[in-house]
Amino acid sequence: MLKVFLVEDEFVMREGIKNNIDWNSHGYEFCGEASDGELAFPMIQKLNPDIVITDIKMPFMDGLELSRLIKKELPFTEIIILSGYEEFEYAKEAIKIGVSQYLTKPINGEELLREVDLLSEKISEKRKEREIREKYVREMEENFLGERKNLFQYLVTGSKSMSELLEISDKLSIDLSAIWYRVVLVKIQSMNHARDEYSNSLVQIEQKLKAIDEDKGLLVFDRNLEGQALIFKADSREELDKIQNDYLGKMRDLLGDYKQIRYFVGIGMPVNRLSELPSSFEQASHAFAHRYLVKESCIWNYEEMEQNIYHDEEFNISNVNPKQLDRSKLREFLKFGDREEVIYFVEEYFKDLGPNAMKSNMFRQYIILDAYFCVVDFLDSLQLQKDELEPLDITSGILQSEETAIKYVIRIIEKALELREKTASNRYGGIVDEVKKYIDKNYADEDLSLNVLASHVNFSPNHLSMVFSQQTGKTFIKYLTDFRMSKAKELLRCTGKRSSEISLEVGYKDPHYFSYLFKKTQGMTPTQYRGGKSQEGEE
């Protein structure tokens, strides 16, 4: 039922409109009245009527000023202005404001009701169009998140020019303007859940963190299983530090309530050019790689780490930190690390062994042999052959210097992760096949969603989204939409069914939304597609 509000300074006129029309029986709720615009506006803000009928000349605030305020505050509210013949020149101004109808007095109840009915149809059409657009935006959110991830990659790799970055960010409604920037990497994980299980605690934390993500100086980018990347931005170094410290403080306080949750944070150096973000990201990645070397929650600031770096001195076995010789840290990385992180992990792993440890020929040979056998052992656990690894040939010069030894370890770890991913890909291939089969059987169900499928295959929605995109080259929603559109095109060409029937058969209860989506994705209406040529009109 649409709500109608009346603003009229003439008491007799106001009472006549209010009482001589049976609003309820015609499908309207007469929700309020006022004698002038000044009294009316706060009431209208509170009641949020669908239609406001207002006189144009009133004391304190006239109808035009009231209409300006309403359109600014409540843009979807439609306005009917009532005016005497001598005031008809106001019509031009009313049109500029966005008034829907301009009616001249005197007007009887029947005429006014007829105009309100016409406006009601317009409101229903507009509301339907808005609902369709909003539904489309919601359904395409996964694609939007993918575009955000791409923007982050462009920012931290320097693969796009400044103008290209600004153009992409503008399309995504992301404001990149600032003088100072800093990249911070964050990973939150449950100690009681496997990598691909869906933790209720993590879901709760994700929702609560969104409440503190709203600072204008913070951009949040999802990195799938590797957590989130935060880009803090501000117009001064002091403001940048404050925004970052405030956020991380709130995050620590929130996570402190969850005893089985660990968090890791790597903080890069501040930079004052957008083009220098790759440098801040690389520093944050170095700091972030330490999460494989510890068991407890920790925050690493690259700037502070650099200040504590060891200076050159002769190797002394007593300076070696024995805790860092623990193979479990390397095994942890082999299980869960990404190939993009290998160089950061290896450099930090060897750096933490102690000052100049890798400069000793004897110690270097020992530690590289240990790393090699750890990688071989990992491949064996996956039932993979070590033959694909680069052999450890001591006579080849691999161990002759710190630099060549570290590069060798980087190469064999990268190869091990490549083999791990191939194995995982085969396993995920079966999961994706199962998802495709489920879509094939249930595409007509309008409630089919990423969450439903994630529950079906016992994955978290984020993990399934990542795996599905990697395996198919499409986001889940794009794959489902393309699948449904393909079925719809087949039915349009091969049957005489109406668009409304086809809409139901391919999973869209609302035929208007189906037509909107078909045109959006196929570039023409269902009718035009059925006719095999472009022509105006819909079924």
User: pLDDT tens digits, residue range 365-406?
Assistant: 778 888 888 888 888 887 777 778 888 776 677 777 888 888
- Cα distance between residue 327 and residue 223, in whole Å: 27
Could you tell me what percent of the chain has a pLDDT over 90? 25
- The pLDDT of residue 389 is 83
Q: Does residue 453 fall inside a structural domain?
A: yes
CATH number of the domain to which 523 belongs: 1.10.10.60
Q: Does residue 498 fall inside a structural domain?
A: yes
- The pLDDT of residue 152 is 92
- Cα distance between residue 146 and residue 172, in whole Å: 11
- The pLDDT of residue 440 is 93
Q: Are residues 425 and 360 in the same domain?
A: yes
Tokens in use for 172? 């995504």
Final residue belonging to a domain, choices 139, 173, 203: 139
Q: Does residue 539 fall inside a structural domain?
A: no
CA-closest candidate to residue 370, choices 405, 400, 320: 405
Q: Does residue 489 fall inside a structural domain?
A: yes
Q: Are residues 447 and 435 in the same domain?
A: no
* Composition of the chain by helix, strand, coil, percent to 5: 60, 10, 30
Q: Are residues 127 and 162 in the same domain?
A: no
Final residue belonging to a domain, choices 139, 162, 182: 139
Q: Are residues 165 and 234 in the same domain?
A: yes
Helix (H) or strand (E) holding 33: strand 28-34
Query: Judging by DSSP bridges, how do beta strands 2-7 and 101-104 pair with one another?
Result: unpaired
Over 80: is that where the pLDDT of 536 sits? no
CATH number of the domain to which 243 belongs: 3.30.70.270
Residues in the chain: 539
Q: Are residues 281 and 156 in the same domain?
A: yes
Q: Are residues 337 and 222 in the same domain?
A: no
The string of pLDDT tens digits covering residues 261-286 is 888 999 999 999 999 999 999 999 98
Q: Does residue 77 fall inside a structural domain?
A: yes
The string of pLDDT tens digits covering residues 210-228 is 766 656 789 998 887 678 8
Number of compact structural domains in the chain: 4
Final residue belonging to a domain, choices 373, 407, 442: 442
Lowest mean pLDDT among 179-188, 304-313, 468-477: 304-313
More confident position, 227 or 3: 3
Q: Does the model's pTM come out above 0.75? A: no
Q: Are residues 102 and 155 in the same domain?
A: no
Burial degree of 77 (CB within 10 A; 0-12, 13-18, 19+): buried
Tokens in use for 293? 């070397």
Residue that is written with structure tokens 């925050």 in the block: 299
Residues 6+ apart with CB under 8 A from 311: 355
CA-closest candidate to residue 117, choices 25, 35, 45, 34: 25
Q: Does residue 394 fall inside a structural domain?
A: yes
Tokens in use for 69? 């305020």
Query: Judging by DSSP bridges, how do beta strands 261-267 and 298-301 pair with one another?
Result: parallel
Domain that holds residue 169: 143-309
Q: Does residue 382 fall inside a structural domain?
A: yes
Quick check: 14 and 33 in contact, CB under 8 A? yes
CA-closest candidate to residue 202, choices 432, 461, 431, 458: 461
- The pLDDT of residue 203 is 66
More confident position, 380 or 538: 380
- The pLDDT of residue 147 is 82
Q: Are residues 484 and 526 in the same domain?
A: yes
- The pLDDT of residue 504 is 93
Q: Are residues 284 and 164 in the same domain?
A: yes
Determine the straight-line distance between the first and last CA of the chain, rounded to whole angstroms.
Answer: 28
Residue that is written with structure tokens 């049976």 in the block: 22
Quick check: 27 and 116 in contact, CB under 8 A? no
CA-closest candidate to residue 374, choices 423, 345, 320, 416: 416
Q: Are residues 220 and 100 in the same domain?
A: no
Q: Does residue 537 fall inside a structural domain?
A: no
The string of pLDDT tens digits covering residues 311-359 is 444 555 555 555 556 677 888 888 888 888 899 888 888 877 766 667 7
Query: Judging by DSSP bridges, how do beta strands 2-7 and 51-55 pair with one another?
Result: parallel
Q: Are residues 371 and 497 in the same domain?
A: no
Q: Across all residues in the chain, what is the average pLDDT?
A: 82
b (16+ CB within 10 A) / e for 371-383? bbebbbebbeeee
Tokens in use for 141? 């959110």
More confident position, 108 or 514: 514
- Cα distance between residue 50 and residue 75, in whole Å: 10
CA torsion angle for 373, 378, 379, 383 (degrees, to 10)? Answer: 130
Q: Are residues 133 and 225 in the same domain?
A: no
- Cα distance between residue 222 and residue 234, in whole Å: 21
